[in-house]
Structure 1
Amino acid sequence: MIDWQDLQVLTLLARNGSLSAAARELGVEHATIGRRIDSLEKNLGLRLVDRLPRSRPLTKDGLAVAALAQNMAQQAALIEQRSRMASAGLAGVVRVSVPPSLARACIAPKIARLNASHPDLQLVLLPGTALAALNKGEADVAIRSVRPEDDGLIRKRIGAVRFGLYGTAKFSRHPPEDWTFISYDQSLDHLPQQMWLHRIRSGRRIAFFASDLLTQQIAASNHIGAVVLPTIIGERDAVLIQLPTNEAPPVRDIWLTAYPDVKRSPVVNAVIDFLIACVEEEPLLADRT
């Protein structure tokens, strides 16, 4: 069997004219070039260079083989170019489970960029507070605010969600002891931001319950009460302002997860790169640890 690397060395020797020059281009010792040529001659049964005291000029056969090998190198370059072009036009469907706040404020505004790079790639966002079961095929990739415990998953911490208490300027003028609050229902009392809300309200009344954050935000914008929002949502709401609290708000890590066999897909990798960029480009989600 002919070693392709031996043929590459022969083309370098033909182009550079000496072992030392070929070695410099390849970044190896000149003795390595000599060994490669010896190996190629043995495999082909041909003398490819004349071993003169001060030089190693190619023989007639050496020049002919080098010319053929050069054509092979050009074909290899064309194959690599074709591969890059194919990768640039990735096609397929990738489903991503993601918290609704990140889907709305971080990922959705940047979808045009993904479409421009990969017009045949379809990203399906699955916003929800429930954790999609990757092992059951409910999603290909997940962004979560809790660290996955499954050791079979690839896990990457890509940022952090910070929270604040928000209300309208009109609402903020009420005496704090008269403030009312907007909350998830009791089924989500285990969430760090929900537990924080209960601590800071100190028994003050919850005026409205809603299972989704957008509804809570709308209610707060209509002076119903104070609401806990991710800063990426609250700081960009023109109606709401951040309200003072007597306890620092929670910070939740953002984890990107997928199974290794899924991540081997070029389509999935393109989406993962896009999702990481979406989070890392957001100052309000920056990893400050």
Structure 2
Amino acid sequence: MVDWEDVRHFLAVAQSGTLSGAARNLKVDHATVSRRLAALETALDVRLVDRLPRSCRLTVTGRQVFERALEMEAGAHAIARLAKAAHAPLAGRVTLSAPPVLVTHLLADHLPRFRKEYPDIRLSLSAEGRVVSLSRREADVAVRFVQPDEASSVARKIGTMAFGLYAHRSYAHLSAPERWEFIAWDQTYADMPAQSWLFGIADDRPVACELTHSSEHLIAVRAGVGVAGLPCFIGERDRDLVRIGEDIPSFARDIWLMVHRDLRKAPAVRAVMEFVAATISEDQYLSIR
């Protein structure tokens, strides 16, 4: 009988292409991955991976086993989701993945309310920009700015995040648009729509600095570094900032709430989804109109 743990380690090697990469992804040491891979090859009596100096390459049989292993992984995750959905109502741990800007400037502020209403649910709130896989159980619930395309997930639009140009009210070039300098996103988010929108406005005017997250942009614009493109739900509430460039093109991102279809009726998961949807809809700058 094949050991699922051996198969899981083989999958990590196949997906990362190296033993060290698999070890990092699984949070184990290099020796454990090597031992598990060897155990699977011994149990099957076939070589699955060619160990090269800097990488691991699947053999012909290894590629065939890899396809079956993916099916095993999907089945294992499905079992775990069904078990989670059967847990006691309104209790347990629920993981929520959301963009950093919404976690830092909105959702975290409302956690006391959620805790008061659902004291037996442990909400694990992760601020991350990457698209997580619900089928792989990387999160139970996710909030994203793009409509998800996972066939096993269900999603609905819960809000719209509009952007505007903001500067500190004491910014030296506030009344001279031709002298504005801009605060842009760094290469981490170089391809995101907000960056294209901002560069379209800046045109040939200089970029003062590049920062990763909107929270850092907010600090920089408060310090008078330059002009920033901020979500309106942040910029409009800051008394030290003024909105500028009324004739600039409008820009907004849709906000999507998604969950795996196997978990959508689990009471604790539904409570988290309702909390997120209500928090977004109650905000005048994010609600759908």
Structure 1 letter corresponding to 2:128: G
Contact kept? 1:145, 1:252, Cα under 8 Å: yes
Contact kept? 2:162, 2:232, Cα under 8 Å: yes
1:2-21 alignment, distance < 5 Å? none
Structure 2 letter corresponding to 1:128: E
1:75-224 alignment, distance < 5 Å? 87=89, 90-171=90-171, 173-224=174-225
Find the residue that maps to 2:262 and give its secondary structure.
Answer: helix
Contact kept? 2:134, 2:153, Cα under 8 Å: no
Contact kept? 2:99, 2:143, Cα under 8 Å: yes
Structure 1 letter corresponding to 2:159: G
Report the alpha carbon displacement of residue 245 of structure 1 after superposing the two structures with TM. Answer: 4.6
Report the alpha carbon displacement of residue 162 of structure 1 after superposing the two structures with TM. Answer: 0.4
Report the alpha carbon displacement of residue 158 of structure 1 after superposing the two structures with TM. Answer: 0.6
Give the Cα separation in 2 of the matches to 1:233 and 1:129.
18
Partner of 1:34: none
Give the root-mean-square deviation of aligned CA atoms.
1.5
Give the Cα separation in 1 of the matches to 2:168 and 2:280.
27
Structure 2 letter corresponding to 1:118: Y
For residues 154-211 of structure 1, give each alpha carbon's deviation from its aligned partner in whole angstroms, at most 9, with x where no partner exists: 1111111000011111215351111101011234232221111000001111111111
Find the residue that maps to 2:263 and give its secondary structure.
Answer: helix
Report the alpha carbon displacement of residue 237 of structure 1 after superposing the two structures with TM. Answer: 1.5
Contact kept? 1:107, 1:278, Cα under 8 Å: yes
TM norm structure 1: 0.66
Deviating beyond 6 angstroms after TM superposition, the runs of 4 or more aligned structure 1 residues are none
Give the Cα separation in 2 of the matches to 1:186 and 1:99.
17
Report the alpha carbon displacement of residue 114 of structure 1 after superposing the two structures with TM. Answer: 1.2
Contact kept? 1:144, 1:256, Cα under 8 Å: yes
Deviates most, 205-214 or 106-115: 106-115
TM norm structure 2: 0.66
Structure 1 letter corresponding to 2:197: W
For residues 114-168 of structure 1, give each alpha carbon's deviation from its aligned partner in whole angstroms, at most 9, with x where no partner exists: 1111111111111122222222222111000100112221111111100001111
Partner of 2:67: none
Give the Cα separation in 2 of the matches to 1:277 and 1:153.
20
Structure 2 letter corresponding to 1:141: V
Structure 2 letter corresponding to 1:253: D
Give the Cα separation in 1 of the matches to 2:149 and 2:204.
34
Contact kept? 2:166, 2:242, Cα under 8 Å: yes
Give the Cα separation in 1 of the matches to 2:246 and 2:200.
10
Contact kept? 1:152, 1:259, Cα under 8 Å: yes
The alpha-carbon distance between structure 1 residues 187 and 107, as it changes in their structure 2 partners (threshold 3 A), is closer
Report the alpha carbon displacement of residue 222 of structure 1 after superposing the two structures with TM. Answer: 0.4
Give the Cα separation in 2 of the matches to 1:177 and 1:125.
42
Give the Cα separation in 2 of the matches to 1:101 and 1:210.
13
Give the share of equivalent positions with the same residue, in percent.
35
Give the Cα separation in 1 of the matches to 2:209 and 2:246.
20
Contact kept? 2:135, 2:152, Cα under 8 Å: no
1:61-76 alignment, distance < 5 Å? none
More helix by share: 1
Give the Cα separation in 2 of the matches to 1:159 and 1:258.
16
Find the residue that maps to 2:170 and give its secondary structure.
Answer: helix
More strand by share: 2
Give the Cα separation in 2 of the matches to 1:93 and 1:129.
22
Give the Cα separation in 2 of the matches to 1:185 and 1:114.
34
The alpha-carbon distance between structure 1 residues 245 and 202, as it changes in their structure 2 partners (threshold 3 A), is farther
Q: What residue ranges of structure 2 are gaps of 5+ in the alignment?
A: 1-87
Find the residue that maps to 1:96 and give its secondary structure.
Answer: strand
Structure 2 letter corresponding to 1:158: I
Q: What residue ranges of structure 1 are gaps of 5+ in the alignment?
A: 1-85
Partner of 1:273: 274
